[in-house]
């Protein structure tokens, strides 16, 4: 039996929100945010956790960062013009097809699209874990306010390593050895 605040690989879906080239460069500490998103995608893929990637108005904000896109054999992000990912055509259906019970959120911006997606997920009785080191905003204050609001609404604030070790649960299996280089 798992504690409700502990991530379980089964039922988790990683959602990478709008990590797009034009917006990314305006994000505070963007190289670290991008690196954490890349690590999360690699971890999820290695552990069999489904990944959904969204793009906010790609015509204006450009495509998803190439460092993320190259991690998928057939990259097909969901495009949106609304802030919550739940407004993206196909998003709810993709979650349902993946058997989502918990959204693990990464991406930008923490106080806008990530926060609105988290609130919509919580409203739908889905669990929400926000990977704090894999989200960003243009200012540190906005990131912190976004995370605080998600926490107040019932979301869990996590980190890359916390997600990894909770998904793994143990160190004596082949998955641990396979993903360990990603965090060293």
Q: Which position has the token pair 């690196």? A: 35
Average pLDDT, the chain: 94
Q: Buried (b) or exposed (e) across 105-124, using 16+ Cβ within 10 A?
A: bbbbbbbbbbbbbbbbbbee
Specify whether 80 is catalytic. Answer: yes
pLDDT-based confidence at residue 173 (cuts at 50, 70, 90): confident
Lowest mean pLDDT among 2-16, 66-80, 111-125: 2-16
Question: Is residue 114 within 8 Å of 137, Cβ to Cβ?
Answer: no
Given 8, 85, 113, 177, the catalytic residue: 113
Residues whose CB falls within 8 Å of the CB of residue 95, separated by 6 or more in sequence, listed in order = 13, 52, 103, 126
**How many degrees, rounded to 5, is the angle at CA 91 between CA 90 and CA 94?**
85
* Structural domains of the chain, with CATH: 12-183 (3.40.50.850)
Specify whether 143 is catalytic. Answer: no
Q: Is the pLDDT of residue 184 over 80?
A: no
Given 9, 42, 45, 80, the catalytic residue: 80
Q: What is the pLDDT at residue 169?
A: 85
Q: Is the pLDDT of residue 2 over 80?
A: no
Specify whether 85 is catalytic. Answer: no
- What's the rounded Cα separation, in Å, for the pair 128 and 86? 14
Q: What is the pLDDT at residue 1?
A: 59
Q: Is the pLDDT of residue 89 over 80?
A: yes
């Amino acid at each position: 039996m798992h504690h409700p605040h502990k991530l379980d690989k089964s039922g988790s879906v990683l959602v990478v929100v709008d990590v797009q080239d034009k917006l990314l460069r305006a994000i505070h500490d963007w190289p670290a945010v991008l690196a954490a998103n890349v690590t999360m995608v690699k971890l999820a893929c290695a552990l069999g956790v489904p990944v959904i990637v969204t793009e906010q108005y790609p015509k204006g904000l450009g495509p998803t960062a190439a460092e993320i896109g190259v991690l998928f054999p057939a990259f097909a992000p969901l495009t949106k013009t609304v802030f919550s990912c739940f407004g993206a055509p196909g998003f709810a259906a993709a979650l349902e097809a993946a058997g989502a019970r918990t959204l693990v959120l990464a991406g930008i911006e923490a106080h806008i699209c990530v926060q609105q997606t988290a609130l919509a997920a919580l409203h739908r009785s889905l669990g929400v874990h926000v990977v704090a080191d894999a989200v960003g905003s243009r200012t540190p204050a906005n990131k912190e306010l976004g995370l605080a609001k998600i926490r107040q609404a019932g979301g869990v604030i996590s980190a890359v390593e916390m997600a990894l070790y909770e998904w793994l649960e143990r160190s004596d299996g082949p998955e641990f050895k396979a993903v360990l280089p990603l965090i060293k």
